[in-house]
């Protein structure tokens, strides 16, 4: 695997983890103020 493909795979993993965390925050206990900041 070349460097570019390795970096792309890492970025995709980070992005998917970030999306999962945001989804957890939105469905979990979170204040309306924080929700407004995210959107």
Task: Give tens-digit pLDDT for 1-29.
Answer: 699 999 999 999 999 999 988 888 777 65
**Are the CB atoms for 19 and 11 separated by under 8 Å?**
no
Note whether 22 and 38 are within 8 A (CB). Answer: yes
38: pLDDT confidence band, cut at 50, 70 and 90? low
Question: CA torsion, points 25, 27, 28, 30, in degrees to nearest 10?
Answer: 60
Report how far residue 37's alpha carbon sits from residue 35's, in angstroms, rounded to the nearest whole number: 5
Residue 21 confidence (pLDDT): 87
Stated pTM of the model: 0.55
Note the pLDDT of residue 32. 58
Q: What is the pLDDT of residue 3?
A: 95
Q: Total structural domains in the chain?
A: 1
Domain of 8 in residue numbering reads as 3-38
């Amino acid at each position: 695997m070349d460097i570019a493909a390795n970096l792309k795979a890492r970025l995709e993993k980070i992005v998917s983890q970030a999306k999962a965390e945001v989804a957890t925050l939105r469905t979990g206990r979170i204040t309306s103020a924080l929700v407004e900041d995210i959107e």
